[in-house]
Amino acid sequence: MHSETAFLGVEHSVLGRRWRGPDPMQERLTDAMAQQTGLPRAVCTILARAGVASEGAESYLAPSLRDLLPDPRGLRDMEMAALRVLAAVDGREKIAIFADYDVDGGASAALLICWLRALGREATLYIPDRIDEGYGPNSAAMAMLAQSHDLIVCVDCGTVSHEPIAAAKGADVVVIDHHLGAETLPPALAVVNPNRQDESGDLGHLCAAGVVFLLLVEANRQLRMRHVAGPDLMSLLDLVALATVADVAPLIGVNRAFVRQGLRVMATRNRVGLRALADVARLEAAPTAYHLGFVLGPRVNAGGRIGAADLGARLLSCDDPAQAGALAERLELLNAERREIEAFVRAQALAQAESRGTEGALAWAAGEGWHPGVIGIAAARLKEATSRPSVVIALEGDEGKGSGRSVAGVDLGAAVQRLVREGLLLKGGGHKMAAGLTVARAQIDEAMARLGELLAQQGAGAAGAARELRIDNVLMPGAVTVALIEQIEAAGPFGASAPAPRFAFPDMRIHSIRRMGETHLRLRFGDGQSNMLEAVAFGAYESELGPVIAAAQGKRLHLAGKVEINQWGGRRSVQLRLDDAAVPAV
């Protein structure tokens, strides 16, 4: 079934996975780069995987926004959109911002609000209620906003909202989005979207906040042509970074520079809302991409999922410390509530999907009374558990509202749009990695079967891919230093389409084991030559990993995971975040 030899001979790890190492060509490129650049082999592994040549290593490790930022005017309707926004500013027109209720929508709205505020203008923020209104513009809200506003800017939504935009009579509508476009565009004055059907797709990896940032770059350019200084855009990159990571946008091209520079901006703690959020989350160190995706992002999202839809955007654009603190505390409470609701839905969805069988191209589940605000997270967890594109549907009345998450190389958004055209979905859309849909209860089985067919044609569920663990290279405990990890981090940030490197530590002796809480594990291991390394395995006792390691003290195991810097009490140390383990062959 597998033509290549399993890495370190691990055909069946503790977690039931086959270890797969780098291919021979990548190994040769890694060796050549190490010789030509003098960089550590662990760093060269990442660069070779990313297709970076030796002569491009230096610039890749220090991505410059100036070098990577595309010309905003390369996107259709960009100049028109920027001119219309500036005309509204000049004419003191009333501006409304209609945004999606997730992090990307909230950050996109906050970008515009902060930029307008710097020019002495305010805007009305409107974010639809997830349950009562659903995703994107709706006719009633757009008609209401049009009655009292001259310009409505839709961010992170609107590309397929033909009827709602037509309902905004008397107001101009500008759409700034990144979701897949249909064959026809809505009747807006401008639709700026790198994923329009008539775009090249070269910037299709941008999240909506990235597209909004390009709009502001173009608007500032037009201000400079008038010899007027525009607002500082570099200070807004923390919002772009947060949205890019939280929306699981590929960390390639300009997105790398957005996140790298945005993290530097965030480390200054100048944004009142993000500072308050970091404080309630007890984030003591400077944030990393991990914190954006798993600490700050979920809290911003919590309002849109189970609370007031506009809480996240209000926090991100807030400039009053007292108000920001109150908003952050409320989001913290909502996030805790969200976790409880999500755990219930996730367990039911996984059990249902497993009873249906997860050998096909699609894993899916549908349930009565499931909270629509957590089905996206449940779909993500189902995807992780099955290594398949996954859809979770909340049923109410004659319809179901679903959210889907995909795997690398499988375009879920395009497949969902095709089902809409085929009449199997009432509505739906999204992008490659995530999608939303509405389906008639009576058509769920047929729609999911057809969706599975379309995804299978793209390679989803291919035999052998589901239970593999990719290993980038081998490391030994003595080589893992703070300096090495800092060099590895320079090859990041890591996330979608740029996974953090995973290293194998072969034939390690387990010296000490300590259980942390109910499910976590900390251990210390070495290579038998006095070189030792700490490791942490989060959620180890939720799988076989915890019991196997607990029984291995004094014995030897192959270990695999990601090396990182652990910051605690002002001290920085190195550790391995353990992903898997295997018993060495005799």
Tell me the CATH number at 428. Answer: 3.10.310.30
Residue type at position 165: I
Verify that 39 and 156 share a domain, yes or no.
no
pLDDT (mean) for 323-352: 95
Q: Give mean pLDDT, residues 299-319.
A: 92
347, part of any domain: no
Q: What are phi and psi of 28, to 5 degrees?
A: -65, -40
Whether 338 is covered by a domain: the verdict is no
Banded pLDDT at 463 (limits 50, 70, 90):
low
What local confidence, expressed as pLDDT, does residue 299 receive?
Answer: 96
Confidence of residue 5 (pLDDT cuts 50, 70, 90): confident
Helix orientation angle between 272-280 and 297-306, rounded to the nearest 10 degrees = 90
- Whether 112 shows a pLDDT value over 50: the answer reads yes
Burial-class residue 98 by CB neighbours within 10 Å (0-12, 13-18, 19+): buried
Does the pLDDT of residue 526 top 60, yes or no? Answer: yes
Residue 152 has pLDDT above 80, yes or no: yes
**Same-domain check for residues 328 and 362:** no
Question: In a 3-state reduction of DSSP, which class is residue 581?
Answer: strand
The one-character DSSP state at 495 is: B
User: From residue 204, how far is each of 179, 192, 552 by CA, in Å?
Assistant: 9, 12, 47
Number of domains the chain contains: 4
Residue that wins the pLDDT comparison between 462 and 535: 535
The Cα 18–Cα 6 span in angstroms is 7
Do 218 and 248 share a structural domain?
Answer: yes
- Is 83's pLDDT higher than 90? yes
pLDDT per residue as tens digits for the range 205-239: 999 999 999 999 999 999 999 999 999 999 999 99
- List the 151-155 sheet strands across, edge first: 124-126, 95-99, 151-155, 172-176, 190-192
Positions of E strands within 26-176? 95-99, 124-126, 151-155, 172-176
- Start-to-end Cα distance in the chain: 24
Q: Is the pLDDT of residue 358 over 80?
A: no
**Closest to 392 (Cα-Cα) out of 109, 134, 383, 143:** 383
Domain stops at, among 457, 484, 503:
457
Question: In the predicted model, what is the mean pLDDT of residues 526-552?
Answer: 92
> Across all residues in the chain, what is the average pLDDT?
94
Say whether both 499 and 571 belong to one domain.
yes
In angstroms, the CA 317 to CA 321 distance is 11
pLDDT score recorded for residue 385: 87
Residues 79, 198, single domain; the answer is yes
- My answer on whether 384 and 283 are in the same domain is no
**171-180, 270-279, 463-472: segment of lowest average pLDDT:** 463-472
Res 309 pLDDT > 70: yes
- The pTM (predicted TM-score) of the whole model is 0.89
Residue 142 lies in a domain: yes
Residues 330-341 have pLDDT tens digits of 999 999 999 999
Q: Which domain holds residue 531?
A: 7-21+471-582
Higher pLDDT, 126 or 429: 126
Contact call for residues 76 and 199 (beta carbons, < 8 A): yes
Q: Which of 457, 483, 513 is the last residue of a domain?
A: 457
Q: What is the DSSP letter of 152?
A: E
Partner residues linked to 563 by β-bridges: 576
DSSP state of 296: I
Give the mean pLDDT of 516-544: 93
Is residue 101 a contact partner of residue 138, using CB atoms and an 8 Å limit? no
The mean per-residue pLDDT over the stretch 243-251 comes to 94
Question: Residue 256's pLDDT is what?
Answer: 96
Which helix (H) or strand (E) segment is 527 a member of?
A: none
**Crossing angle for the helix pair 321-356 and 297-306, nearest 10 degrees?**
80
Residue 1 pLDDT > 60, yes or no? no
Q: Are residues 46 and 76 in the same domain?
A: no
Element housing 439 (H / E): strand 434-440
Question: Which residue from 290, 315, 367, 251 is spatially nearest to 538, judged by alpha carbons?
Answer: 290
Tell which residue, 171, 16, 41, has the closest CA to residue 94.
Answer: 171
Per-residue pLDDT band for 2 (boundaries 50, 70, 90) equals very low
Last residue of a domain, one of 288, 316, 332: 332
pLDDT confidence tier of residue 430, bands split at 50, 70 and 90: confident
Same domain, 35 and 16: no
In this prediction, residue 431 carries a pLDDT of: 84
Which tens digits make up the pLDDT trace of 167-190?
999 999 999 999 999 899 999 999
Query: What is the spatial distance between Cα 547 and Cα 545, in angstroms, rounded to a whole number?
Result: 6
